[in-house]
Each structure stands twice: as C-alpha cells, then as structure tokens.
Structure 1
Amino acid sequence: MAAKEISLKLLVHKEKNQILYAESDKDFVDVLFSFLTMPIGTIIRLVTKKAKIGSMSTLYESLEDLDVQYLRTESCKNMLLHPKSASEDHCRNLVVNIDDRDPIEYYYICNSSVPLMSDTKHSISIGVPDKRCLCGSSMSRKRRKQKLKNGAGVGKDGVFVKGKMRYMITNDLQVSPVCTRTSLELLKRFGISDLSELEERNVNLGQEEVLHLLKHLLLSNTPLTDMFLPVQDSIEGVALILKFSTLDSKDIAQFHAEKEAGSDSKKMSLNLFVSKSRNKVLYAQVGEEFPDLLFSFLALPLGSVVKCLGGCTSMGCLDNLYKSVEEIGKKGCIKSEECKALLLDPVLVPYFGSMNQLIQINELPGKLTIFNCQSCLRNAISIKDSGSSTCLHGCETTIPVEVINPKFHDAVTELGGAFMEGPAMFMVSDELIVKPLSTISGISLFNQFNIPINDLEEHVVSVGEEEALSLLKSSLTSETVLSDVFLKKPGRRSSLELLRWVQLRRVTSARDVKT
C-alpha cells in the first residue's frame, strides 16, 4: 500500500525565493494543529536526528543513559521516552501521522471469569503485564485495544477542523480561511505590486516532509520557505521579538504580592556551583525531586506548554500556530469544542504527571468504562466513549474499571507518584545532562572549563512553579538553562525575569480589557 501524501499549493516570489503563503484543505491544517497535541518527548525522539531542540535533546539523552535503578519502576523510563498523547485516537486518523508509537495498544486484565463480575472491583494494566488487579488476581491476560467503528475523525470533516473550508497558511504559519482580502493585504505587506513576480507551485508531503516541517516550525520564523526553498536570499520572516515597555512599579509590587498570596505550590532546593568569572552555572547538586521535575517536561503536550508560557515560547512559529487555533475557532472552523480543547488546553494521559511537576497541567482520571462483552474480552478491550453506545458485537452492558498506576509496584490506581526513586543525589549540568552525583565527575568538569577552585562559589536557590515555568521555557530554546534562569547576565534580563514580564503583561492586559 502506497504511503499517503498531502497536496499543498504554494505562492512563491520568484526573484526573492520566498513563499508568501500556501493553500490547502483540511488535511494539511489537521497535521499542523496535531503538533500541539504531541508530548515534548515524542517530538524530541522524532526530530533529534535532524535538529537539536534547546537542552531538551540532552535531557532526553540523559534519561536514555540513566540506569533504570534510579527510577521507581521500569515502566517510568519507557513512559517518559515514549510518552502518550491524550489525542492519540484522533491523530491516528490523520492523512499523514508521524508518531512512530505502535498503533496497537495492549491491555492486561486479570484471570477472573469472562465476562467480568460486576460485583467485584476490577482494574486494567496498560502495556505492563503481571500487575496485581484490585480483585487480587494477577493481570496476565493480554488483550488489544478494540477500535470502534464510530471513532474520532470519521465523516466529511477533518480530525480537528471542518472539512468544507480551504485555508491559507502564511510563511510564519498563521492559519486562516481562504479570503481574497487577506491575500491582497498580504501582498501589500510584502510590497508586491507586479504579480508577474509570483508563481504557483504544487507540492506533496509525506511522512519525511512532515517531520522536516515539525523541525522548521520549532526553529525557524520562515518554516515553509526553509523547507521548500532552502536557499534564501534577502527577505527575513516576521521576527517573534518580545518588546519591553515601561511598567509601573506599583503594578509590579501588586503582581508579586498576588503571586505570593496565591501560591501554595511545593518548593525544592538546588545547590548551584558557579564560576564567578564566567557568570556560569557549572552544575547543580540536587535530590531526586529536581530530575523528576525536568524529566516530567518530556510528557507535556506542546499546546499545554504554549498555554502555560502565555503564548511566548520564542520557539520558531509555534506561538503563531497556537494563536491560529484560537482565531479560526472564533470563526467556527474547528470541528468541536472537544477538538478545540485538545489543541489549546491538552491534558496529560493518566499517570503521566508527577508529584514534583510543579506546573499546573490537568491530568485525566485513571478510570475507564469497558463493554462487558464475552466475545470482545476473549481477544480485545472495547472502551466506551461519548460516541459509542455498543461494542462491535452489539453489547450494551458496561462495567467500570480502574487503570493501575505504572509508577507503583503495588495495585495503586490513584493519580500521582514520582518517576524517580529516592532518596538519591544527582548532578545536573547547565545544558541539562543528568547524572548520579560524583565529586570526581564534578572536579573533571571544573578541569574541562579550566576553573580554579578560588573562582567557584555555591549558590542555594529555591524552585517553585514560577521557576519551573522558566526552566521549561529555557530548556526548549537554550543550551545554558541553569545560568539563564538563575544568574543575571550584564545588560540582559534573566530567563526568570522575562517570564515574570510576560506574566505581568498578561495580568495588566486582562485588567485593561475588563475596564
């Protein structure tokens, strides 16, 4: 069977070798928007051979190299290296789906009689055999997840957007319905009056091209031109530059007072070893909670990252893409409110959150309703959702089951828990290389940077939600994360100060709208 492709029409400025915009139907826009549902760990796994994403790539490699004894269970490592998306069932209906996870998902159920007994509590283990069921039996029966006929994405509409519309996609990935006025405004914006300078080109995209597009989306302000016309001349894309304005000191004081009053989140402490002369963090000495926080970033969906950072990720055209969902949603182009939420406020799959996460992102409950069908349960698990009233065999009888939390060895179904085992001590470098603490490795690092002992000093810093957000932002764009967040550079705002500025602007803007 031939691999599926998506057609795209491009409007190109021939002399300047620049794509002004593209036109497509629902299929390409669905693929673009699906990037917002992807966990960071999935993106790193897919693009790391083509590009390095800040320090997330080294963080991911650190987890790959870390001995499993430092994690609570073997499942914890696999969960973070191959995180699940809450939109997986939707994304399997994309014309081109680049996620390389096995589309066949296996569940394990206990050895109780089939159908399951409705008067007994039962649980399911997803992907991990021989866990203990709530009824006390071992869950060793392997069953695949049964896809129901009325799954997501079926019909004339797309996976996320409505199907009868055609869309314009600018070079910096602003998506809007096709409109003559918008097209003419775009031509004026680029100073084009002679239409003979323009030409139409048609291209097709398969999996490899979509992977390249994901990379360019995160790293470039002109991803379409960079991808289809790789040799650029003079025109630069619209830069996503954060401009600072003067803020009233009273607003700043009130903002921080509100933050302190409303913050009851957990705090963790880091010991930073800093080169005074270079104003650089060499490494942090930390307990297991801090690597747990960092590794939990790999499970976060991209859309939730944009939301948490107030639409100011500074990652290529990612913020434009997120804003486009908001804008075309107002025009009724998103298929449903459920789809809009999947893109703008994606949640974590059950048990993919950590007790040390600090960042407030919702997590789905670990509860399912399955069809208690004897025919299904011989080979598969059919899960009831909002679009299904019976299983494939016509059975209407359902039974609630709870999913076992893979971060625990025992039969635990509550959310929470950590990925890392403790107590343990680690060293975390400026570029987020995580290793078990070794003073010899620390001395070798000092030698590597030619740092004399008298140039070292120790800083003790505290990490709460605000610092965690700043770490998340810097880890996506920088290779000196700890220095950017915790050390102030001469003539530059620290990453933490930039984040505070963004948050303050959001607060003051919201007040202005209300008044």
Structure 2
Amino acid sequence: MAKPEGPTIGVKLSVDKEKKKVLFAESNKEFVDVLFSFLTVLLDTIVRLLDKQSQLGCLDQLYKSVEDLNLEYFQTSACKAMLLKPLNAASGHCCRLKINVDGSVPRVVYVCKDTRCSALSDNAFSSFPGTICKCGKVMESIGQCPKYDGDTETAAATCSEDGVFVKGCLKFIVTDDLQVAPASTSLMMSVFEKFGVLDPAVLEQQVLQFSSEKITCLLKRLLTSKQPLTDHYFEAPVPQDDASLEALVQNLHPKQENEDQEMPGNLKIRVLLTKDNSALLYAEVGVDFVDSLFGLLSIPLGSAIKLYGQCSAKGCLGNVYMSIDGSVQVFVREECQSLLLDPKSLGFSGCSRCHDIPYKNSLRRYEAFCANTVKSIKLCEANPKEPNGGSEKGEVYCN
C-alpha cells in the first residue's frame, strides 16, 4: 500500500472485530486538536471540503447557488469571494495544526496599489481580495499582517509543550461517538462495561494513521453518523441525506405571543402553495432575505451547535462541543475556550440576524525608522461589501 503523502496522526483503536465495533480511540493532543478545530470551520468551508456533499440540509444547494450567480448580482466581486472562500477567524491557531483540513493560513492584508492614497483613505486595508478602496481602485497589493494582531499574538505565546487548543502532553480517550476525556483506567473500564466486554484481551489494538484525506472523511462521518470511528474503520457506506430537521424545529421557530404581530426587522416573503396547501412550490423574496440566507454559510460549526443544540441531527459533533464544556474543560487552554465554544465569523462576514459579531476592524502597524524611534499607524479595515469603499459595517452581499 502506498504511503499517504503529507503528515499523518497515529491513533490507537480498541476494536471488537466480532461485533464490528470500535469502542474507543487513544490519542495524543494532535488528534484532539484537529477534532476541536472542526468547531471553528465555517459551514461554507465544510460544503466546499466535502465537494457539496456535506448533507447539512440544503446548504450544498445554497453554496451552489452562490457559485452559479453572476458577479453582477453581488455588490462587489469580493462579496462572492467571501462566500465561496471564507476566512477562518481562528486561522492563527488552525495553521499550526499538524493536519489543517480547511487550509487556513496566517491572515494577510490587502492594500491599495496606489501608495499615495494610503493617508487619504484612513490607512485602509482589507482581509479579502477584490475590495474597493475609497479612491476607486481595487485593493490587490498583499501586505503582511501586523505581527501582534489578535489570535496571532495568542498563538505565539503558546507553551512549547501545549497543543494548539489543549494543554500539556496528555493522552486522551475518544469514544466512538466522539466524547473526549483524559485517558484513565477507570474510563476504559466503564466503556468495557457499557459494551459488555468481560475480557479486554479479546479486543484488537489497531493503530490507524490519519492523513489529511482521512481526516476529511472523518469530518463527513461525524456529521452523518453516531459512530463515526466504527463506520470509518469498517468503511461503512455513508447514509443518504434525508435532511432530518426534527431535532431543530423548536429552536428554529421560537414561539411568539402573537404570530401575526409585525416585529421590526422581520422579513416578508410571498410563497406559492399547491391548491391543498400540501407543498410550497416557490417563494418570491427580496434582497434582504437572500442576503440572510447567504450569511448562514459564514457561520462556524461551533456557533451552529451553540444556537441550535447541534449542527446535524444525525451526527455527533455536539459531543465534541460538550466535551470542551465539560470533561476536558480544564485541559483546554483558557484563551481558546471561547474560540471553540462561541466561535465568530471574521469581520463583515456572517449574518447579523443569526448572531452578533463583535468585531474590532482596526489594526496597528509598527514601523521602525531608526534604532530608537518606532512610529505607530492605525489601520482601518475597509468593508468588502461597499462598492464605493469605506469602513461602515454593512450586511448586504447582493444588489
């Protein structure tokens, strides 16, 4: 068998071959870091990684709709780029993972190619290519992100023995449904008891090397299965998408005192139903509704779980989320807990109707002019959605 290209992460599985069941995996911090990083990945990135076969409801079709729309329907070309290739706000951490499936790279900034307009345009920069400067030119010159920006600073301060998200050099137990806990004999015995294993010697120990490709396959499994390790090891077929939403209905449609009451900010749509009202044929909607739909693509997986309790009714990513908030909380670096349990979209991305995105849209650039003099310049991020440039926080992708 050909060796996989690129780095791999070894994970030891305890397998009951007779029952065709993986009881648990023993792993180091590298594998757990990768599992935790899934919570920071945006929904549209998941769709792209899984080649529009994510089985996350209708998101695959929504992503394809963005791909198929001509640029003329977007405020700027940057708007389409933001939706199809979004930036992970946790890129400063994820780029240090041994295997980083979403391809996050350290943040770069784009500036106007006309150096003369720098002072005239509030020292503007953008995180997205194709953003329009106030002078009307496209920001396409790549500049280096300031060294001490946000999570890059945090990432640099990591203890050498720590992982990206977890502390120290601990060993972990990951159950078949992806509950994560520090390794211990008592935990292993409880798993044996749960699955009726009287003699652990009957179990086979198999070391599985996870490459980037296999990590991506595992990501799909954990979105579609309650036993992703077993299904991955025994190569079970991925179930077909039935778009089950029964577990999300009440969260998606909270009860109101008066369903007919018009609330500020409500969106109105006109729908065409069959004569017996048994099916909806199509809806006529405004730009604000389409914009809200597109904004859903930029929500991180962890935020979807926080909002709705889970991301997929069939998967078990929620167990990873609950482990961070429970059994392994004290072993997760403090500065990373909110990054994993309440991840945010990068500035100007996302949908304001879904969740608030507190965002600081400025950086500081430090330039040394001589051995004893350092000049500090405040940089202000331009809104990629603004066709005329500017830093006002707008939410509109489409015309």
TM-score after normalising by structure 2:
0.84
**Partner of 1:328 in structure 2?**
327
Query: Counterpart amino acid of 2:364?
Result: T
Is the deviation greater in 153-162 or in 5-14? Answer: 153-162
Contact in 1 for aligned 2:15/2:203 (Cα 8 Å): yes
Aligned pair partner of 2:378 in 377, 397, 400? 400
Contact in 2 for aligned 1:83/1:298 (Cα 8 Å): no
**Partner of 2:233 in structure 1?**
228
Aligned pair partner of 2:215 in 203, 210, 215? 210
Q: 1:219 to 1:142 in 2, by over 3 A?
A: same
Residues 409-438 of structure 1, C-alpha deviations (whole Å, 9 max, x = no match): 2231122230111xxxxxxxxxxxxxxxxx
Contact in 1 for aligned 2:15/2:206 (Cα 8 Å): yes
Query: Counterpart amino acid of 2:301?
Result: L
The percentage of counterpart residues that share the same residue type is 33
Q: 1:104 to 1:86 in 2, by over 3 A?
A: closer
**Partner of 2:185 in structure 1?**
180
Aligned to 2:285, the other structure's residue is in SS state: strand
**Partner of 1:350 in structure 2?**
347
Aligned to 1:191, the other structure's residue is in SS state: coil
**Partner of 2:21 in structure 1?**
18
Offset at residue 137 of structure 1 (A): 9.0
Offset at residue 107 of structure 1 (A): 1.9
Q: After superposition, where does 1:281-296 map in structure 2 within 5 Å? A: 281-296=280-295
Q: Which one has the largest radius of gyration?
A: 1
Offset at residue 127 of structure 1 (A): 3.6
Contact in 2 for aligned 1:110/1:140 (Cα 8 Å): yes
**Partner of 1:365 in structure 2?**
360
Aligned to 1:86, the other structure's residue is in SS state: coil
Aligned pair partner of 1:92 in 91, 95, 105? 95
**Partner of 1:478 in structure 2?**
none
Residues 77-107 of structure 1, C-alpha deviations (whole Å, 9 max, x = no match): 1101111111011100000011136667342
**Partner of 1:142 in structure 2?**
142
Q: 1:394 to 1:82 in 2, by over 3 A?
A: farther
Q: Distance in 2 between matches of 1:203 and 1:409?
A: 50
Residues 436-472 of structure 1, C-alpha deviations (whole Å, 9 max, x = no match): xxxxxxxxxxxxxxxxxxxxxxxxxxxxxxxxxxxxx
Aligned to 1:269, the other structure's residue is in SS state: coil
Offset at residue 183 of structure 1 (A): 1.3
Aligned pair partner of 2:392 in 383, 390, 414? 414
Q: Distance in 1 between matches of 2:111 and 2:222?
A: 38
Residues 148-202 of structure 1, C-alpha deviations (whole Å, 9 max, x = no match): 7966164210111112211110000011111221211111111121323311110
Residues 289-315 of structure 1, C-alpha deviations (whole Å, 9 max, x = no match): 111111111111111111111347524
Q: 1:313 to 1:138 in 2, by over 3 A?
A: closer
Q: Distance in 2 between matches of 1:48 and 1:305?
A: 20
Aligned to 1:289, the other structure's residue is in SS state: helix
**Partner of 1:123 in structure 2?**
124
Aligned to 1:84, the other structure's residue is in SS state: coil
Offset at residue 396 of structure 1 (A): 5.3
Q: 1:140 to 1:200 in 2, by over 3 A?
A: closer
Aligned pair partner of 1:6 in 6, 9, 23? 9
Offset at residue 43 of structure 1 (A): 0.6
Residues 227-273 of structure 1, C-alpha deviations (whole Å, 9 max, x = no match): 112249xxxxxxx99699xxxxxxxx9x7459999x96510111122
Aligned to 2:102, the other structure's residue is in SS state: coil
Contact in 2 for aligned 1:373/1:395 (Cα 8 Å): yes
Q: Distance in 1 between matches of 2:362 and 2:248?
A: 45
Q: After superposition, where does 1:164-175 map in structure 2 within 5 Å? A: 164-175=169-180
Q: Distance in 2 between matches of 1:258 and 1:363?
A: 31
Contact in 1 for aligned 2:167/2:332 (Cα 8 Å): yes
**Partner of 2:268 in structure 1?**
269
**Partner of 2:240 in structure 1?**
none
Contact in 2 for aligned 1:124/1:133 (Cα 8 Å): no
Q: 1:12 to 1:242 in 2, by over 3 A?
A: same
Matched, 1:340 2:323: no
Query: Counterpart amino acid of 1:161?
Result: V
Matched, 1:74 2:77: yes
Query: Counterpart amino acid of 2:367?
Result: N
Contact in 1 for aligned 2:16/2:203 (Cα 8 Å): yes
Contact in 2 for aligned 1:328/1:334 (Cα 8 Å): no
Q: After superposition, where does 1:311-322 map in structure 2 within 5 Å? A: 311=310, 313-322=312-321
**Partner of 1:309 in structure 2?**
308
Q: Distance in 1 between matches of 2:258 and 2:77?
A: 41
Q: Distance in 1 between matches of 2:326 and 2:260?
A: 33
Contact in 2 for aligned 1:47/1:215 (Cα 8 Å): yes
Query: Counterpart amino acid of 2:72?
Result: Q
Aligned to 2:268, the other structure's residue is in SS state: strand
Contact in 2 for aligned 1:408/1:417 (Cα 8 Å): no
Residues 347-377 of structure 1, C-alpha deviations (whole Å, 9 max, x = no match): 12111134xx4212324221112223469xx
Offset at residue 142 of structure 1 (A): 3.5
Query: Counterpart amino acid of 2:349?
Result: F
TM-score after normalising by structure 1:
0.66
Contact in 2 for aligned 1:108/1:129 (Cα 8 Å): no
Aligned residues: 380
Q: Distance in 2 between matches of 1:396 and 1:184?
A: 60
Residues 29-67 of structure 1, C-alpha deviations (whole Å, 9 max, x = no match): 000010000010101000126554321111101110011
Q: Distance in 2 between matches of 1:94 and 1:410?
A: 38
Task: Point out where structure 2 has 5 or more consecutive residues left out of the alignment.
Answer: 238-244
Matched, 1:105 2:108: yes
Contact in 1 for aligned 2:131/2:389 (Cα 8 Å): no
Offset at residue 281 of structure 1 (A): 1.4
